[in-house]
Amino acid sequence: MRAGIVGFGLAGRYFHAPNLVGAGIEVSAICARSLEKRGLAHDDFPQATIVNSIEELVAEDLDLVVVASTNDVHVEHARAALDAGIPVVVDKPLGRNYSETRELFYYAESIGGKVTVFFNRLWDSDTLTIKSAIAQGDLGAIFRYESRFERYRPELNPAAWREQRDESFGGGLLLDLQTHLISIALHLFGDAELSYASIKSIRGGADDDVVLALKHRSGVDSYLMASAVTGAPGPRIRLHGLAGTLEVKELDHQESLLRKGYRPENGRWADPKSVSSEVRITAGERSFSYPSQPGNYAQFYCDVRDAIELGGPLPISHQFALDVARIIDQARELS
């Protein structure tokens, strides 16, 4: 299978390209406009065709197009690939709002095209471990979930468009990190309604401190925090059940390994321990290490490959992506 990538920044270079290769998919074409990004694309994939526009990319002989461009042109680039009859993966967020997301899905369905969104954090070690713990009932009745992406960067990065540009362009943490947090919460605990939203711009750029609360039909409450201005970041996850609290302090190491140039092989990481989070369950005075599942972003592209070649479902359904987009829109209204 041959894939083309639109955009070769952080997402295209470090999240999509190596995981495509890890799933056995050839990166055969890359669209990058700046000389720097074109040079990096050639260094990483010397056999790939490097082009300057989406029109040139979709003219290549491709089985899949991955849209990893800036958020404001996600839909435009996805439609170009669909018009060329090529299935599409769009980096999150697929659209900047519910309407944009829905319109792209409607368009794809009207022409019989395939499109899905890259919610890679569903394949984090902590997400997979929580799924296992829920399935085995190891926490008893679960009632509260706390999940956060917090860091401390008190100064805006002038080179980071996500920090500088507002929601009309697709910047800010609501569309960036909260998209991950919402998708994980819905994946783990099912349908939910937004009950609280606080969206702030502390540094004067795009929103950089966002707190959401969801009430799931399953009875679980999710508290989701994304911040670039938290001086003392909290644990990545705390999951509370009657039989104890499951805690994960840090993400697995998939992102750091990908940034260092490592790639999965044959659909998984060679050393599962290197991509497994440290997990503990505490119940009063009793505390013990809990076995974690290894993270595996490449599984997303294995599922995409199978869906295209065998005709099965894509890994993220249209309805699920719309549910995430709906909560993001509601957060803007409520805040």
For 277-288, the pLDDT digits (tens) are 999 999 999 999
Instruction: Say whether both 134 and 193 belong to one domain.
Output: yes
How far is residue 59's CA from residue 82's CA, in Å, rounded to a whole number?
12
Instruction: Say whether both 62 and 197 belong to one domain.
Output: no
Q: What is the pLDDT of residues 75-133, one digit of tens each?
A: 999 999 999 999 999 999 999 999 999 999 999 999 999 999 999 999 999 999 999 99
Instruction: Say whether both 165 and 67 belong to one domain.
Output: no
Query: Three-state DSSP class for 203?
Result: coil
What tokens appear for 319 in the block? 């309805």
- For strand 192-200 and strand 64-67, is the pairing parallel, antiparallel, or unpaired? unpaired
pLDDT of residue 172: 95
pLDDT of residue 297: 98
Task: Supply the pTM of this predicted model.
Answer: 0.96
What tokens appear for 65 in the block? 């197009």
Instruction: Say whether both 93 and 205 belong to one domain.
Output: no
Instruction: Say whether both 108 and 151 belong to one domain.
Output: no
CATH value at residue 162: 3.30.360.10
pLDDT at residue 253 above 90? Answer: yes
Instruction: Say whether both 277 and 169 belong to one domain.
Output: yes
Instruction: Say whether both 147 and 217 belong to one domain.
Output: yes
Query: Which element (helix H / strand E) includes 51?
Result: strand 49-51
Instruction: Say whether both 159 and 268 belong to one domain.
Output: yes
CATH value at residue 93: 3.40.50.720
How many CB atoms lie under 10 A from the CB of residue 162?
Answer: 21
Q: What is the pLDDT of residues 151-170, one digit of tens each?
A: 999 999 888 888 888 777 88
- How many domains does the chain contain in total? 2
pLDDT of residue 208: 96
pLDDT of residue 287: 97
Q: What is the pLDDT of residues 171-213, one digit of tens each?
A: 999 999 999 999 999 999 999 999 999 999 999 999 999 999 9
Instruction: Say whether both 115 and 153 belong to one domain.
Output: no
Residue with tokens 């005709």: 311
Instruction: Say whether both 214 and 195 belong to one domain.
Output: yes
Instruction: Say whether both 17 and 106 belong to one domain.
Output: yes
How far is residue 57's CA from residue 10's CA, in Å, rounded to a whole number?
19
Instruction: Say whether both 145 and 116 belong to one domain.
Output: no
Structural domain for 147, as ranges? 121-295+323-334
pLDDT of residue 95: 96
